[in-house]
A and B are shown apart, each in its own frame.
Chain A
Amino acid sequence: MGLLSIIRKIKRKEKEMRILMVGLDNSGKTTIVMKINGEDTSVISPTLGFNIKTMAYQKYTLNIWDVGGQRTIRSYWRNYFEQTDGLVWVVDSSDLRRLDDCKYELDNLLKEERLSGASLLIFANKQDIQGSLSPDEIAKVLYLDAMDKSRHWKIVGCSAFTGEGLLEGFDWMVQDIASRIYMLD
Chain B
Amino acid sequence: MEDNEQPSHDSAATAAAALEQKHAAMLERLANRHQSRATAKPDSNSSGSTQSFLSQFSQSKLSIDDQISRIRTQPNPPQKAELEAISLGISALEKLVAEHSYLLPPYEVRNSLTAITHLRQTLDDASAAVAPKKKFSFKNKSSKKSAAPASDQKSEVVSEVESNKTNPRLGKLGLMDSSAAPGFRNKDKEELEMEFNRGEVDARNGEFTLSNLRDCEVRLKGCLRALFVDNVVKCKVYVGAVMGSVLIEGAEGCVFVLASHQIRIHNAKKCSFYLRVRSRPIIEDSNGVRFAPYCLSYRGIEEDLAEANLDEETGNWANVDDFRWLRALQSPNWSLLPEHDRVGMLNTDKKNEK
Which residues of chain A have a CB within 8 Å of any CB of chain B?
Answer: 3, 6, 25-26, 30, 34, 39-40, 42-54, 68, 70-76, 78-80, 94-97, 99-101, 103-105, 108, 126, 128-133, 137, 140-141, 161
Inter-subunit contact B175/A141 (CB<8 Å): yes
Chain B residue with Cβ nearest A103 = B173
The docked-state distance in angstroms from the alpha carbon of A100 to that of B177 is 12
Inter-subunit contact A130/B166 (CB<8 Å): no
Inter-subunit contact B150/A34 (CB<8 Å): yes
Q: Mark B205-249, 1 if CB is under 8 A from A, else 0.
A: 111010100000000000001101010000000000000110100
Chain B residue with Cβ nearest A70 = B323
The docked-state distance in angstroms from the alpha carbon of A128 to that of B201 is 12
Kindly provide the distance from the CB of B102 to the nearest chain A CB, expressed in whole angstroms.
18
Q: Mark B112-152, 1 if CB is under 8 A from A, else 0.
A: 00000000000000000000000000000000000001111
| 17 new A-B contacts at CB < 8 Å, known A73-B323, A129-B244 | A43-B150, A44-B150, A44-B279, A46-B282, A48-B107, A70-B264, A71-B285, A75-B162, A79-B161, A94-B226, A95-B228, A97-B211, A97-B228, A100-B171, A126-B226, A130-B207, A133-B176
B8 beta carbon closer than 8 Å to chain A: no
Kindly provide the distance from the CB of B2 to the nearest chain A CB, expressed in whole angstroms.
27
User: Given A46-B264, A52-B155 in contact, is the A131-B59 Cβ separation under 8 Å?
Assistant: no
The docked-state distance in angstroms from the alpha carbon of A62 to that of B172 is 36
Chain A residue with Cβ nearest B208 = A131
Number of interface residues of B (CB under 8 A): 64
Inter-subunit contact A99/B323 (CB<8 Å): no
The docked-state distance in angstroms from the alpha carbon of A42 to that of B62 is 31
The docked-state distance in angstroms from the alpha carbon of A100 to that of B173 is 6
User: Given A44-B279, A46-B264, A48-B111 in contact, is the A71-B166 Cβ separation under 8 Å?
Assistant: yes
A97's partner among B159, B175, B178, B278 (CB-CB below 8 A) is: B178
Which residues of chain B have a CB within 8 Å of any CB of chain A?
Answer: 58-59, 62, 106-108, 110-111, 149-167, 169-173, 175-176, 178, 181-182, 202, 205-207, 209, 211, 225-226, 228, 230, 244-245, 247, 261-262, 264, 266, 278-280, 282, 284-285, 309, 321, 323-324
The docked-state distance in angstroms from the alpha carbon of A46 to that of B278 is 11
Kindly provide the distance from the CB of B273 to the nearest chain A CB, expressed in whole angstroms.
15
- Chain A residue numbers with a CB within 8 Å of B167 are 71, 74-75, 104-105, 108
B323's partner among A72, A128, A130 (CB-CB below 8 A) is: A72
